[in-house]
Chain A
Amino acid sequence: MSDVAAPILDIHNLSMVFGGLRAIDDVSIHIKSGEICALIGPNGAGKTTIFNCITGVYKPTKGSIAIEHGERGSERIEGLKPNIINKKGLARTFQNIRLFSNMTVLENVMIGRHNSLKAGIFKAIMRDRATREEEQRVIDESHDILKKMRLDMFINETARNLPYGAQRRLEIARALATDPFLLLLDEPVAGMNPQETKELEETINLIRDREKVTILLIEHDMSLVMNVSERIYVLDYGRLIAEGTPTDIKGNPEVIKAYLGE
Chain B
Amino acid sequence: MDYFLKLFLSGTAKGSIYALIALGYTMVYGIVQLINFAHGEVYMIGGFVALIVGGFFFTLGLPVPLVLLLSIIASVIFSSAFGFTIERLAYKPLRSKTRLSALISAIGISIVLQNFVLLAQTEKYLSFPSYLPELPFLLPVREYINSTQLIILATTSVIMVALTLLIKFTRMGKSMRATAQDKHMAQLVGVNINQVISVTFVIGSALAAVGGVLICSYMGQINYYIGFIAGIKAFVAAVLGGIGSIPGAVLGSFILGWTESLGTGYISSDYEDAYAFIILILILIIKPDGILGKNQKQKV
Contacts of A52 in B (CB 8 A): 300
The answer to whether A48 and B297 have CB atoms under 8 Å apart is no
Contacts of B300 in A (CB 8 A): 48, 52, 57, 94
Min distance, Cβ A123 to any Cβ of chain B, angstroms: 30
Chain A interface (Cβ < 8 Å from any Cβ of B)? 18, 48, 52, 57-58, 94
Which B residues between 9 and 46 are near A, CB-CB below 8 angstroms? none
Give 6 CB contacts A-B under 8 Å.
A18-B297, A48-B300, A52-B300, A57-B300, A58-B297, A94-B300
Which residue of chain B has its CB nearest to the CB of A95? B300
Min distance, Cβ A191 to any Cβ of chain B, angstroms: 18
Min distance, Cβ A53 to any Cβ of chain B, angstroms: 11
Which residue of chain B has its CB nearest to the CB of A55? B300
Which residue of chain B has its CB nearest to the CB of A48? B300
Contacts of A57 in B (CB 8 A): 300
Which B residues between 256 and 300 are near A, CB-CB below 8 angstroms? 297, 300
Which residue of chain A has its CB nearest to the CB of B298? A57
Min distance, Cβ B293 to any Cβ of chain A, angstroms: 13
Which residue of chain B has its CB nearest to the CB of A94? B300
Contacts of A48 in B (CB 8 A): 300
Instruction: Please measure, in the bound complex, the distance between the C-alpha atom of A187 and the C-alpha atom of B300, giving whole angstroms.
Output: 14
Which residue of chain A has its CB nearest to the CB of B294? A19
Which residue of chain B has its CB nearest to the CB of A49? B300
Closest 6 CB pairs of A and B: A57-B300, A52-B300, A18-B297, A94-B300, A48-B300, A58-B297
Min distance, Cβ A219 to any Cβ of chain B, angstroms: 18
Min distance, Cβ B162 to any Cβ of chain A, angstroms: 30
Contacts of A94 in B (CB 8 A): 300
Instruction: Please measure, in the bound complex, the distance between the C-alpha atom of A90 and the C-alpha atom of B300, giving whole angstroms.
Output: 17
Which residue of chain A has its CB nearest to the CB of B297? A18
Instruction: Please measure, in the bound complex, the distance between the C-alpha atom of A58 and the C-alpha atom of B297, giving whole angstroms.
Output: 9
Which residue of chain B has its CB nearest to the CB of A96? B300
Min distance, Cβ B300 to any Cβ of chain A, angstroms: 5
Min distance, Cβ A185 to any Cβ of chain B, angstroms: 15
Instruction: Please measure, in the bound complex, the distance between the C-alpha atom of A57 and the C-alpha atom of B300, giving whole angstroms.
Output: 8
Min distance, Cβ A217 to any Cβ of chain B, angstroms: 17
Instruction: Please measure, in the bound complex, the distance between the C-alpha atom of A48 and the C-alpha atom of B300, giving whole angstroms.
Output: 9
Which residue of chain B has its CB nearest to the CB of A98? B300
Instruction: Please measure, in the bound complex, the distance between the C-alpha atom of A52 and the C-alpha atom of B300, giving whole angstroms.
Output: 8
Instruction: Please measure, in the bound complex, the distance between the C-alpha atom of A80 and the C-alpha atom of B300, giving whole angstroms.
Output: 17
Min distance, Cβ A32 to any Cβ of chain B, angstroms: 26
Contacts of B297 in A (CB 8 A): 18, 58
Instruction: Please measure, in the bound complex, the distance between the C-alpha atom of A115 and the C-alpha atom of B240, giving whole angstroms.
Output: 39
Instruction: Please measure, in the bound complex, the distance between the C-alpha atom of A94 and the C-alpha atom of B299, giving whole angstroms.
Output: 12
Instruction: Please measure, in the bound complex, the distance between the C-alpha atom of A94 and the C-alpha atom of B298, giving whole angstroms.
Output: 14
Min distance, Cβ B89 to any Cβ of chain A, angstroms: 29
Which residue of chain B has its CB nearest to the CB of A51? B300
Min distance, Cβ A52 to any Cβ of chain B, angstroms: 6
Min distance, Cβ A91 to any Cβ of chain B, angstroms: 15
Instruction: Please measure, in the bound complex, the distance between the C-alpha atom of A58 and the C-alpha atom of B299, giving whole angstroms.
Output: 10
Instruction: Please measure, in the bound complex, the distance between the C-alpha atom of A57 and the C-alpha atom of B298, giving whole angstroms.
Output: 9
Instruction: Please measure, in the bound complex, the distance between the C-alpha atom of A18 and the C-alpha atom of B297, giving whole angstroms.
Output: 9
Instruction: Please measure, in the bound complex, the distance between the C-alpha atom of A106 and the C-alpha atom of B98, giving whole angstroms.
Output: 26
Instruction: Please measure, in the bound complex, the distance between the C-alpha atom of A27 and the C-alpha atom of B297, giving whole angstroms.
Output: 21
Contacts of A58 in B (CB 8 A): 297
Instruction: Please measure, in the bound complex, the distance between the C-alpha atom of A205 and the C-alpha atom of B21, giving whole angstroms.
Output: 61
Contacts of A18 in B (CB 8 A): 297
Instruction: Please measure, in the bound complex, the distance between the C-alpha atom of A52 and the C-alpha atom of B297, giving whole angstroms.
Output: 12
Which B residues between 81 and 115 are near A, CB-CB below 8 angstroms? none
Instruction: Please measure, in the bound complex, the distance between the C-alpha atom of A196 and the C-alpha atom of B297, giving whole angstroms.
Output: 34
Min distance, Cβ B296 to any Cβ of chain A, angstroms: 11
Min distance, Cβ B299 to any Cβ of chain A, angstroms: 9
Instruction: Please measure, in the bound complex, the distance between the C-alpha atom of A48 and the C-alpha atom of B297, giving whole angstroms.
Output: 14
Min distance, Cβ A58 to any Cβ of chain B, angstroms: 8
Instruction: Please measure, in the bound complex, the distance between the C-alpha atom of A163 and the C-alpha atom of B300, giving whole angstroms.
Output: 22
Instruction: Please measure, in the bound complex, the distance between the C-alpha atom of A18 and the C-alpha atom of B299, giving whole angstroms.
Output: 12
Instruction: Please measure, in the bound complex, the distance between the C-alpha atom of A13 and the C-alpha atom of B300, giving whole angstroms.
Output: 23
Instruction: Please measure, in the bound complex, the distance between the C-alpha atom of A3 and the C-alpha atom of B297, giving whole angstroms.
Output: 39
Instruction: Please measure, in the bound complex, the distance between the C-alpha atom of A57 and the C-alpha atom of B297, giving whole angstroms.
Output: 10
Instruction: Please measure, in the bound complex, the distance between the C-alpha atom of A18 and the C-alpha atom of B300, giving whole angstroms.
Output: 14
Min distance, Cβ A71 to any Cβ of chain B, angstroms: 35
Instruction: Please measure, in the bound complex, the distance between the C-alpha atom of A176 and the C-alpha atom of B116, giving whole angstroms.
Output: 57
Which B residues between 42 and 57 are near A, CB-CB below 8 angstroms? none
Instruction: Please measure, in the bound complex, the distance between the C-alpha atom of A94 and the C-alpha atom of B300, giving whole angstroms.
Output: 8
Which residue of chain B has its CB nearest to the CB of A57? B300
